[in-house]
Chains A and B, each alone.
Chain A
Amino acid sequence: MSILSAGSNAPDFTLHSTPDQSVSLSEFRGRNVILAFYPADWSPVCGDQLALYNELLEEFSKHAAQLLAISVDGAWCHAAFARDRHYHFPLLSDFEPKGAVARKFGAYDDKDGVAERALFVIDTNGVIRWSYLSPMGVNPGADGILKALEGITSSAQAGSP
């Protein structure tokens, strides 16, 4: 299975962001979205990766971009993890049916039963403009995301979609 590539429409989804609230990708039409699939709450590399993005929210918002992080962990687990790490962005729960959204994006690891470490930058029209699959144990950093967002901003200024 390979991840959806640039040019594809991002499949819509609705997932729990807290035990009693849900978020749909389509709600963010008109804004750019960064989707960060990751294997698991509490694991060392994921924590570092999300800690880095947590520092960059202001930078992302300069590009009118909303960060959504997704793993197969449950909403209560996400709530505890987000509180412990002071995350200021939603952690979405791809819990039931397990990994269904990760599968739609080609980012599910059947063997380990977790989402892969995959990044997608989606534009205001819901089109994937950049995607990247990082090796499971490697924190991909944020330079690729920022370059993709700058690409969207500059093509919008040039008047092309």
Chain B
Amino acid sequence: MNATSPELAIPVSAQDHAQGKAGAPVTLLEYGDYQCPACGMAYPTIKRIQHAFGADLRFVFRNFPLSEVHPLARPAAEIAEAAAILHHFWPMHDWLYENQDTWTVYGTEGLEAGLRDLGIDEAAITRTLREHDVGARVRSDFMGGVRSGVNGTPCFFVNGYRHDGDAASLEYAIANLIEQA
């Protein structure tokens, strides 16, 4: 992270899915794709970082599905957004990454299995998908990411600046910011 790193174009707001307090010294934001293997690999690292920094870290997730390479990424993102409206965003998000190897093989049936595993009412999800424009939400996350210089997934922003580097450097950058806070 430095002065030339692209800056987050859309500030974190109440519309975002966030874990942790708004007043935390560090906000780690991920633009991710549920079918992206690299995002799947980053998932346990983020969990570990969240555990390590506790209340000093807020984690925010935004959608960045690359639909042409990952045709299930957008349906998965839309189901997670529908789950969010029913207050089940994080369990769905976590399930999608924890079971990425399995559900991606079965397509939309794999996604339905996730809802059943989590005990989320499938009919309620279907109704939510019909009544809310979750597609627009996913698209708006995506375009906000493009405007912020997101160039692939996963793409991380630490306190509003893009972080280019591996997981170890991400942890180091967060630790430094917490120390300075």
Contact = CB atoms under 8 A, between A and B. Distances in A.
Interface of A: 48-49, 51-52, 54-56, 59, 85-88, 138-143, 146
A141 B69 contact: no
A56 B146 contact: yes
Interface of B: 6, 9, 66-69, 142-143, 146-152, 164
B148 A143 contact: yes
Nearest to B9: A143
A142 B68 contact: no
17 contacts: A48-B151, A48-B152, A49-B152, A52-B150, A52-B151, A52-B152, A54-B66, A55-B67, A55-B68, A55-B142, A56-B146, A86-B69, A87-B68, A139-B151, A141-B146, A143-B6, A143-B148
A140 B151 contact: yes
A82 to B, nearest CB: 11
A110 to B, nearest CB: 26
A91 to B, nearest CB: 14
A134 B149 CA distance: 13
**Chain B contact residues, majority secondary structure:** loop
A65 B148 CA distance: 21
B68 A51 contact: yes
A141 B143 contact: no
A86 B68 contact: yes
A46 to B, nearest CB: 11
A51 B69 contact: yes
Given A48-B152, A52-B152, A139-B152, A146 B69 contact: no
Contacts of B9: 143
Nearest to A144: B149
Q: Which 9 A-B pairs have the closest CB atoms?
A: A139-B151, A141-B151, A48-B152, A86-B68, A141-B149, A54-B68, A143-B149, A51-B66, A51-B69
A55 B142 CA distance: 10
B36 to A, nearest CB: 10
A51 B149 CA distance: 14
Contacts of A143: 6, 9, 146-149
Nearest to B65: A55
A138 B164 CA distance: 10
Contacts of B67: 55
Contact of A85 (B69, B142, B143, B148): B69
A54 B9 CA distance: 21
Nearest to B143: A59
